[in-house]
Each structure stands twice: as C-alpha cells, then as structure tokens.
Chains A and B, each alone.
Chain A
C-alpha cells in the first residue's frame, strides 16, 4: 500500500474517532474505549477490504459484516456514516428516543447493517449460517465476523468454529481483536486462535493500527483455500485517548470529558 493511501486512511480513522467521541459525548451514555481502539481495523475493512456499495446497501453480491463487539457499536455507526450509508447528522442523535441509531444496531432500520447484534450468543453462528447460504447461492460474497478476543473462548463459539471448518466455509473471515498487552510476544497466539488452528482454520496475526500490515495479512487470508480464516488483530491503547486506557477501561463521557477528548484527538491529528 502506498504511503499516500496510508495517510488518507489514517486521516479517515482520525475523523472517525472524533465522531465517536462527539456522538457518545452528546448521548451522555455509552463507552468510548473499545470504539476508539477498533476504529483503524474497521476503516481498513470498510475502505479497503470489503466489497460494498453504500448507495446500494442491499446489493445481493456484497460482502457481509457481522459485528459482535457490543461495546464497540459507536465505532460501527461512525464508520457507516463516514462511508456514506447515512448522514453524519444521525450520529448526534445516537441512543435518543426515536433515533435511527439505537444502543444496538437495528438490522431493519439502519442501512449498512447486515445482521442483528446478539448479546447472548456467538455471532459466528450467524456468520456461518449466512456464509453457508451465500455459498449455496453461488455468490462470491464473503462474510466478515468481528469479535473481541474474549468472546472467542466459549464452548458455543468453539463448537461453531469446529463446524465452520468441517463445512469448509472458506468465505468466512473472523476478525478477533485484542488489546495489545505489554510483553506479548509477536507471533504468539492466544488460546482461542490455537484451538481454531487445530480445527483447521487458517490463522493470521496483524497489527490492528497498521494499515500496511492489515493489507498484507488480509490479502493472504482471502477466500478460496477451503478453510475459514481468522485474523487476530492486536490494537494499541495509544491509539485511543490517554485517559481511556487500562486505568479507566469503561469511562462514560460527560461534556467536559468530551471537550478534553476532542482536544486531545485534534492534537494527535495535527501532529
């Protein structure tokens, strides 16, 4: 990927992060840490990887995105607005009565949302049903399933992962995001990825804040191998806000915090 393109994507991601802070701040409810952390990965997927057309959100041969990171919903909303699925104006009404952008995505009301977010199950099962059905129709569409790494350890998840491999669903790409912990060795997968590998998944690791690294990994993880793929993306706290890190993992935004956060993000954007 050329440096100019990387710069463009970084600018988009910076604007997305500001939108996240504004929307969560105006809503005076909701969490910002995870949305800020995953914004780079989502920008890469929506601008570089997935086949989609914002003007035609129901196009049959589009790639599908199954989002399962409940706390990261504001990032998805900000991305869809920035990508042109709806006006950014909608973001400022997030979580309000009658607003299009409810706390969890309403599959029927929001353009660009391909699947409901199920808080009590594994979205991988929705993704596999979708992938199986799309494959049967002969469409080349891929299904991207986005989860937090902590949600990739349950029994139901593992049973589904084993089944995906059994059916050879190579049109599924699982993106498992994890906060980059200090001292983690590069190349060492967490337990969940290790188990997926034993089931027959292709496993990849990427820096979730480095667009060049993501491009390299996602091009290798393209479908056609006969095996589902999982991309383990480490995201860094430094990409978010200084006061939204480990010390305050789930801060809620007040107006003052919002102003402070926007100032900090503006400072980062301007170098």
Chain B
C-alpha cells in the first residue's frame, strides 16, 4: 500500500463524476450545504440545487428520471436515507427509476456528528428495498470502476462513500467492476475474509499477522452488496471452508447478512462477523470509534483464527 496516495472515496467520486459532466444528459441534484470539490465548477445547467428539503431532493431527481434523464443525487446519509426513505421507496424503487444516490459520509467517517447523523444501518435499509442496487467502493480504483458501472445501471443505485483517507488496495490492477461483482484482493487457502469499504484495508493488515500464525487468508472485496457476487464468494469458501465478514456497518442487514444468506442456503460453513453490534454510535473521531466498536485488523485476526479452528477438517 502506498500511503502517499491516500484519498477519501468521496473526493475521488466527485473528481471522477466531474469527468462525466460534458455528457449532454448529465445532471447532479444536490442541496447547497455539501462540499462538492471539483463538482463546484460545473456549468449551472449541470447542477440542480434543490430546495432545503431532503425528501424534495429525491423527488426532484425522480421527476428528472421520468423525463428520460439519469440523474445523480449527492448528500449525507442521515438526510437522504433516514429522512427520505419513503420517498426513495415510492418514487425511485417501486417504479425502478435510474437515479444514482451517492452519500458522502458513509459509515463512521463523520463520527464526530454523533448518532443522529451517523448511520450504521443504511446498507440494511437500502439492501432490503426491492429494485435497489447497493455498492460500497473501498479505494480510488474501485470508486472509478464502480461509478462507471453504476452509470450504465437501469434502476436505482445506492453508493456509499466516505471521508476517511484510504490508500489504494491493489496498485497493480485497475480491475473490472460491475454491479454484482467482487474483487479478489489476496489469494489464500485457510479463511475467506469478505469485506467492503474501509475494512478491506484492515483485512490486508490482518493478513500479515495471520501469515505468521500459519493462517493464509483470502480477501474478497465484495463491493457489490446487491446484486451479491454469490459465485465469487462460493468459489472462495469451497477452497477455505470458513469465512469472516468485516464491514463498517451494523451486523444486521449489510454485508454480514448478505454473506450469511448466501452461504446458509448453498454451502454452510462457520462464519464470523466483524461489525458493529446492534446499537447506535457515539460522537467521536472516526479512528477512535473504529477502535471502540472493534472494527480493526485485530478483530479480524481473532475472528479468522476462530473461524479457522471451527472449520471441518
């Protein structure tokens, strides 16, 4: 990993989205309280600044999609997901309109703002909504690749981005990204470690420690939570016989649930979760909160050792 190139996924997203702006149909729906970085320089007709009502912003985007546009909507998760859930459900998901919802403060990346503004159940809410696709990029390459894939989607998509600077997970490969895809970050034979977002970085740190204990983990970046990359996961778990899931989210309804749902029906193996318990978070710096809620390489090491011990010989 190259620490010199650390950048947060939200910034990379804004930069990459700006490259689409020349597209005739490009339109971004926002409110005026969000830092759009390079997107601020877009021509006026490419940005629609909605009224200061979060539900209305979603409905504005729905109206544009009804006339054949494929708008992007950007904002904070607490506003767009929590306050506008029923508008997303009724105006985007039920009619399956091609609106892409990008949140800037996914997970604990704005932990200072406290429980009301830090959503750790957003993936659960969006994944449980029929017709909605859900993706969580983990580094610059995946932001670009996933954004390109999402651009072609015909239905609504939820993109969870963050504001914590992260390094590139695999410098050598740009990779192919698609809805329903996953990326193999490290090959191994002992334990499958399934991650999304920032936890891929923690899993790579854990791999070095586990190597010294003779446990060779395989890390799969499951950036597409829905549609879920079942075949990639199953192929890995058939080799390793056990699985650890790590995500910056409640263990209910997100990647942990998606993985358990997939494995329990097709290939049941021991599965351990590294995720937030069923509780709301406190205010705090993101790094402090990740330590507090057990979202670090240390918990992945413990979980991998336990899963490995539980697998059938």
Residues of A at the B interface (CB closer than 8 Å) are 60, 64, 66, 106-108, 114-123, 125-134, 136-137, 155-156, 159-160, 162-163
The answer to whether A118 and B91 touch (CB under 8 A), given A129-B62, A156-B56, is yes
Per DSSP, chain B at the interface is helix
- Contacting pair B67 A130 (CB below 8 A): yes
Alpha-carbon gap, A125 to B56, bound state (A): 5
Alpha-carbon gap, A155 to B53, bound state (A): 9
The answer to whether A126 and B66 touch (CB under 8 A), given A116-B91, A118-B87, A121-B87, is yes
- Contacting pair B56 A133 (CB below 8 A): no
Which chain A residue shows the least CB distance to B27?
Answer: A133
- Contacting pair B91 A133 (CB below 8 A): no
Tally of B interface residues using CB under 8 Å: 29
- Contacting pair B67 A137 (CB below 8 A): yes
Within 8 A of A (CB), among B231-252: none
- Contacting pair A115 B63 (CB below 8 A): yes
Give the residues in chain B near A106, CB-CB below 8 Å. 94-95
Alpha-carbon gap, A120 to B50, bound state (A): 18
- Contacting pair A116 B94 (CB below 8 A): yes
- Contacting pair A156 B63 (CB below 8 A): no
Alpha-carbon gap, A162 to B91, bound state (A): 22
- Contacting pair A159 B52 (CB below 8 A): yes
- Contacting pair A120 B60 (CB below 8 A): no
- Contacting pair B59 A122 (CB below 8 A): yes
Give the residues in chain A near B50, CB-CB below 8 Å. 125, 163
The answer to whether A119 and B45 touch (CB under 8 A), given A108-B96, A130-B63, is no
Give the residues in chain B near A123, CB-CB below 8 Å. 59
Which residue of B55, B59, B63 contacts A133 across the interface (Cβ within 8 Å)?
B63
Alpha-carbon gap, A123 to B63, bound state (A): 9
Alpha-carbon gap, A160 to B54, bound state (A): 11
Nearest-CB distance from B252 to chain A (Å)?
A: 24
Alpha-carbon gap, A106 to B67, bound state (A): 16
Question: Is B90 on the interface with A (CB-CB < 8 A)?
Answer: yes
- Contacting pair A160 B67 (CB below 8 A): no
Closest 9 CB pairs of A and B: A129-B63, A125-B59, A129-B60, A130-B63, A125-B56, A159-B51, A120-B86, A163-B51, A133-B67
Nearest-CB distance from B82 to chain A (Å)?
A: 14
Alpha-carbon gap, A133 to B96, bound state (A): 19
Nearest-CB distance from A105 to chain B (Å)?
A: 10
Give the residues in chain A near B56, CB-CB below 8 Å. 121-122, 125, 156, 159-160, 163
- Contacting pair B86 A121 (CB below 8 A): yes
Give the residues in chain A near B94, CB-CB below 8 Å. 106-107, 116
Nearest-CB distance from A91 to chain B (Å)?
A: 22
